[in-house]
Every structure is written in C-alpha cells, then in structure tokens.
Amino acid sequence: MKPSKTNQTLLRNARIVFPDRVEKRDLLVRDDRIAPSDGELPSDGFDEIDLAECRLVPGFIDVHIHGAIGVDTMEADAAGLRRISEFLATQGVTAWLPTLVPAPDADYKQAIAVIGEAMKSTAGARILGVHYEGPFVNSAQCGALRQQYFRSFVNNDSLDSLPRLANPAAVHMMTVAPEVEGGIELVRQLKRRGWIVSIGHTRAEFEVLDETLTAGARHMTHFMNAMAPLQQRAPGPIGWGLLRDEVTCDVIADGIHLDRHMLELILKSKGSERLMLISDAIAAAGKGDGDYQIWGETISVKDGRTRNSRGNIAGSVISLLDAVRTMESLGVSEVDLAHMSSTNPAKLLSLDGECGSIEAGKRADLVALNAEKKVVLVMVNGEVVLPAA
C-alpha cells in the first residue's frame, strides 16, 4: 500500500461496512469525499490500494478521552495534542474530543488555547472541539475527578467563566449532574448556547432527570460508572437511562469499568442505535503498566487497570479499537459496531451529515482492519495517514 499522491484513490476488494449491510466492492475517494457508487471509475490519474481480506469501516470517533502516550489534555501544548492525534490514528480513530477534568479557570484557559491551536493541524485524527467533564457534577459521585474544583451553577457568570473555542465549527460538550445547585437551568443555558449536554457523575432521581430531558440533555456519560447504583427501590440514573428510549449512552468497554455481562445487558436494553463507545483514556494509554503523575496525583496502571491514591478507577488505558474488539467478542455485528463507534458519536455531535458512516458525499474518514482486527489503513479527509509515507 502506498499513500495517496493524487486527488483520487480507489480502494479495491474491501468488505465495506455500510450503515445497513456489509458488501464486498470497490470504493472511490475523490478529494476528501466518498464518491457515488454509481459513478464511472476513473481510467487513470488515481492511486489504487488493494484491501482484499480487509474490512473497511467508518473512522472511529472518540468523544471522551483525556490523553494518551504520556500526554494529558490539561497540560499539553499543541505539539502534544498533535502527537495524541497521530497515535489515535494508528488505533483507527479519525476524530476526537479532548476531554478536560475540573480545574481552576487558568488551567481551563490554557487548555482551550492549546486545543484551538492544535485544531489548525491536519496531522492524524481530527480534533473536533472540547468536552468538559464537569465541573458541575456531584461530589458524591466524583470518581477520579478532583472535588475541590467542582462548582454549582448560581448564574450565567458561572458558565461565562469557562472559556470557549473561537473556531465557529468547534463542538462544545459538557458532562453535568443535573441535581447540583442550578443544574437544570445550567442545562437550559448550555443548550441555548449550542452545547451538547451529557448526564454523568450523578445521583439524580427520576423526576430531576425527566426535567433534565425536557431541558435538552439526552445523553449519559460512561453509563453505570460514577452513577448511583441501580437498586430495587431506587432505580436512579441507571434505571432511568435504561428506560428512556430518547436517551443515548456511552460505555467504556474495557472489561474493567463494566463486566462483560453488563455490557450485554446495556446493549440488549438500549440497542446499537442508542449506544456508543468511548475510551475515557488517560495519558498512560499506550505506555504500559507503571506509575504516572496525572491530575496532581499518582495513578497506577497494573494489568490494564488504573487506580488512584483513593483506590478509585481513574479512566482507562484502552483505545476505541480495543473497545470495538471487546464488543465484537460479545457477538456484536460489524454493522452495529460501526454504529456504536462512528455513526452514533457523529449523531451526538450533530456531525452525521458530514461523517460517521460510509456514504456518498460524506467525508472520507475510513479505516481498514485485517482479519486479526488490526489497523492496516487509515484515511482522514481522504488522505492516507497510515501507513505513513
């Protein structure tokens, strides 16, 4: 395989995972777009890549990731974020949202400035915007987040102090616990400003959650983790999320955050159309076992499990490719996997008109996996970024 040097690339003999089927055929990429299937194939002036025995899927989109290969999104410079983007591309991720933990305003300001600068780069996976995990979350469900930086929503000043990206195309997402002081009004304000709101780190009861749904929050962050547990007389956010068909959920499919049988239960209840995969990876991802200084404390990684000084799981060290492999081992179909790793995240971010599926006219963010489920080809914006030139 050779990286594309023209504005047309013909991908031959791939098993293509379309939104509703898998079909073996050729696919033409012209400039940064997927060409119509009924158009004439070029007779010359194109690069050709043979993908025999490979599965071609839409590029993975990770909406919740804190870092990788030793780089943390809260402390990185633009070059560091670009290194994450390049690493993520090797894992089949073609777009991602750098995710920030609760922090002082100065740290947020610095992180947003860096993300804005890194978004100008075309190296590796595209940076789509930012995901604030908190700071308006419940201290009783803090997980690995730093409680000293949690906030309540008193008025719009609380929100105005959080910096935004200047890029008009940037996605802004926030994980919120609606039961915090002013939480439901916060959701309303975020929606008015065009933010995507997700419910997480929460102990909210049904009535509050229903109000939150009306206010505009229709997604849940790392479902079942950092939430009040499901009980027979207190269904809480987990019971609510399972019951509400309007609500989508994301999960960390690493076999640690959720037992494999719980993944099966969630999938059976929500279906592949309302479920998506995230990594929730931290800076230790891609580095192996050891001790790492992250978020002002030591986080240990042993046998792929993270643990902070309080004994809590502190994110993951997987990639979205690992999550896809886990779900496939549970018998999830290739079409459903594409929905959970690409189509559904694109819908959540209101980008499904542009990417997230293999359809004519959409951005050519594509990944080829071989029979061993290893990444052998990645295209971002129609350019081959793996294998490297």
Q: Which of 62, 280, 336, 365 is catalytic?
A: 280
- The burial of 176, by beta-carbon neighbours within 10 Å (0-12 exposed, 13-18 middle, 19 or more buried), is given as buried
Write the CA distances from 247 to 34, 36, 197, 239, 373, integer angstroms. Answer: 31, 33, 12, 12, 30
174, 165 contact by CB (below 8 A)? no
What the block records as the tokens of 55 is 């599965």
CA 149 to chain centre: 24
Bridge partners, residue 199, by sequence: 176, 220
What the block records as the tokens of 359 is 């359809």
What the block records as the tokens of 91 is 């894992």
Alpha-carbon gap, residue 155 to 147, rounded angstroms: 20
Q: Which of 344, 254, 266, 348 is nearest to 305 (CA)?
A: 254
Bridge partners, residue 252, by sequence: 278
280 in active site = yes
Give the side-chain half-sphere CA count within 13 A for 327.
31
Catalytic residues: 280
